[in-house]
Structure 1
Amino acid sequence: MNTNKITDGKLTQLSPAKTRRIIHTDNLMMAVWDFTDGPWNNPEPHHSHPQDQIVYVAEGEVIFFIGEKSCHLSTGDTVAVPGGLPHSVQLLTSKVRLVDTWTPIRPEFT
């Protein structure tokens, strides 16, 4: 059995208010993102990647954008993003924790 604590995963400080912690197998990747600079007036720029993605809101509230559509998500909510679709997020609360999973893994995060 392969068991790990997310705190054992690779921590990356992306900005003073944004961290990412990664754990993965050969085919599945999970990231825990912590943001402490919300709420935001605007969403992050849209981006896309070939991997399928599921986002779980572990803490806080966001607006999640997929293409031209948007949805309000709060603690306990999820959204699925098929690979290749442009998407983005906008924080609505001062602190947000998102848990992302991708398959296959995103090699740029390893």
Structure 2
Amino acid sequence: MQSMTTTGGVVRQGEGKQFNVLGHAITALFTQHTTEGNYYVFELITPPGLSLPPHVHEREDELIYVLEGELEVMLGDQQFVAKAGDRIFFPRFVPHGFQNAGSKAVKAIFTVVPGGSFEEFFEKLAALPPGEPDMARIVEIFAEHGMTILMPQQS
């Protein structure tokens, strides 16, 4: 029989650790400490025009529920638009990324399974200095957490 040391709980509106990760506002809702690393749940707010580069996870699957706005999504060789009320599944080992190409912010809830290293991942990205992103350091942080950013092909 597996024992759980967590007791559950409620995260109230406005609560949760906040991060600015490459311009995305992230609020941690249920962390690896809350869930013993089984999953990590966060709210993401992505301003218009902002994207997350295509990347591949070696360790985690991601489940997304779009609350507001529209995301242009790349999943493997597919492209589609996810609107409020849509759900997205990004399985590990499948390239994926997204962009807010709309005129208002996108708000979504992400669940990462397992979620053991995501808080440290966000902390490292949030600690980067403001301004032009240091892509070499970003690629390094992703790699430290089992993710590979897929860089555009040079012609």
**Pairwise same-fold verdict (TM > 0.5):** yes
C-alpha distance in 1, partners of 2:17/2:80? 30
Counterpart in the other structure of 2:17: 10
Task: Among all aligned residue pairs of Structure 1 and Structure 2, give the percentage whose two residues are the same amino acid.
Answer: 22
1:97 aligns with 2:104: no
Structure 1 pair 48/106, CA: closer, same or farther in 2 (3 Å)? farther
Larger Rg: 2
In structure 1, the gaps of 5 or more residues are: none
User: What letter matches 1:19 in structure 2?
Assistant: A
> 55, 58, 78: which one pairs with 2:64?
55
Greater than 6 Å deviation, 4+ residue runs: none
User: What letter matches 2:114 in structure 1?
Assistant: P
CA-to-aligned-CA distance 1:42-82 (integer Å, 9 cap, x gap): x5321122211111111001111112111211100011111
In structure 2, the gaps of 5 or more residues are: 1-7, 121-155
Name whichever structure is richer in strand by fraction.
Answer: 1
> 19, 26, 33: which one pairs with 1:20?
26
Q: CA RMSD in A?
A: 1.9
User: What letter matches 2:63 in structure 1?
Assistant: I
- Count of matched residue positions in the alignment of Structure 1 and Structure 2: 106
User: What letter matches 1:29 in structure 2?
Assistant: Y
Name whichever structure is richer in helix by fraction.
Answer: 2
- TM-score between the two structures when normalised by the length of structure 2: 0.61
Structure number with the bigger relative contact order (C-alpha 8 A, sep ≥ 6) is 1
